[in-house]
Structure 1
Amino acid sequence: MKKLTPQTHRRIVAVAASAALAVSLVACSSDSDSDTDAGNSSEGTEVAGVMITKDADLAAMLPEAVAESGKLTAIQYDNAPADTFLDENDELAGWGPDLARATAAVLGLEYDAEVSGAFDTFIPGIENGRYDTSWASIIVTEERLAVVDIVAVHESTTGVITKEGSGLSIGAPDELCGLRIGALAGSAFLIQLDEIIATCESAGAEAPSVDSFPQQGAALLAVSSDRIDAFMTAKGQLSWLLRDGGSADGFEIQALDYQPNLEGVAVGKDSGMTEVITAAVNKLIEDGSYEKILGFWDIDFGLVDEAVANPAL
């Protein structure tokens, strides 16, 4: 797919940046916060400047219970811009929620999202049927595919952020050996760090120590206070922190691009929603809405030509 050039659009204050400098972010997050978007009008629903209309044929594919409820339920993370986060008005924002809103509109549904900072509860919540979906930052792994379906809608790479002036130079996995590394609890980055630990041990080097954090802001605070050397997460999210030259003063992104991986929408295996969500996202890809929505958030990398359910790894 042809990539967009970065576009100028409304600039939302990066919540994650302030979180990195203040513990108070944790108090601002709530498992009970929710975001419910109005359903389609007869003219359609506007998402990120794009008008989305209902597709009756795709809507007919919905499970009866979902069609009757009129809602696409989701659990969304509160602090991973530009993927999914709470903006300065405590409203759910990011390309993931916007793609979810557009998909819901195609299916004639309301997008009904609960917002949480406890990422490690997301997969269990989808597995047990509490939520239909979760959008963005759900990296495809064998472990996750064993319990939920994942519709891949984007390709991401893993990056590392450190404190500015730390003197660290990290351009290869073995340069993480011996360091104190943080990652999000329940995230695929912990699995990647297990692989890096094995690499270091095989080379006879000291393995990195690993700390997991419930929220990105807490991890960044740990970096800034020298409790850990680095934080490892999606590189696109790290780039957001440093956008416009100062939303996260005091940090720097290292050169490492580790393991390009597919990410997307986690869907309950028994929900009956995987096929219809895949079809709806592909409609958005085909008509150009997908590219425009991601472009609204300056995501001009990792776009896919086709959404694929449970891609082979």
Structure 2
Amino acid sequence: MDDHIADALSRPALLRLDDGITCLRFETMKVVSALAAVRHLLDRGTIAPGDTLVDSSSGIYAHALALACHRYGLRCHIVASTTVDRTLRTQLEILGATVEPMPPTPSLKLDQNRRVARVQEILRANPRHHWMRQYHDDIHYLGYRPIADLVHRELGTGDLTIVGGVGTGASTGGLASYLRESDPDVRLVGVQPFDSVTFGSEHVHDPDIIIAGIGSSIPFANVVHEFYDTMHWVGFHAALAGGVALLRGHAVFAGLSAGAAYLAARWERRVDPSRQVVFLAADTGHRYVEAAYSRHREVPGPEHLAPRQIASPADMAPPWSRMDWDRAPAPAAASAVDGVRAAS
């Protein structure tokens, strides 16, 4: 029996879908990393019950950190993206978190930069607050060891490919690094939106982008580019097609990042049918209903979509591009902050 809902939410469902494709489905994935990170900080004496933890978030991490703070008797301050809706904000406030929303902006890039700047202002005014640094601190890898153990136990690691949105790199990078302790040949396929600096797509604009959380306008130290074998850049309409197909075909209602990952997973399985593919569904699709899923009749089936195979990020184009990354280092614009390795 669990002592707190956060403990239950940290366990994903492992669902076998199409032949050779498995979904690692979370209700809210970053509970895994937030719980483990907060426990680690408490055990190390870096923070103590009653302290205030602060971070910026576009949604999932805000909920995860608020749950972890509720679980361990800590205060929580969230600088919230414009993508945080009223439903989530109300939950955060009832959980005891202080929510500071950013003013509306048509640019997610501007929104992200302003959030980070605001966090730094808060820390200067409140030096005893602890910044969780979800974008930069490798303690966020720790929570994915039990998830890697689950995948290893159920599927093994032979001929295994992991597919998922990159975001901070903690989920996909953590899973791959822990699984590679048993088999260095586990492949890692990252999924990014266009307009993201992390893997060099900042020069390609997607006017409908609302895939919050898996891309970035600033360098993330948590992303270890050398972990990734293949990259997919997926636009809004292609991600929506994947999400609709996932719900229609398998009754899994997940966010747009999961739709993009499902699309990429199907393609990777097609490229090499000998491999078993596991993709991450990081959250449910509820916050995307009005802006995305209500348009489900507009999108084609995934069988009508194929990625543009490219040799360089300079060649990418919407709605979907794929490249063999081959565990290469970060592009120049994403290497302003040194990468980190998974914590031990």
What is the TM-score normalised by the length of structure 2? 0.26
Which of the pair has the greater relative contact order for Cα pairs under 8 Å at 6+ separation? Answer: 1
Structure with more strand by fraction? 1
What is the TM-score normalised by the length of structure 1? 0.28
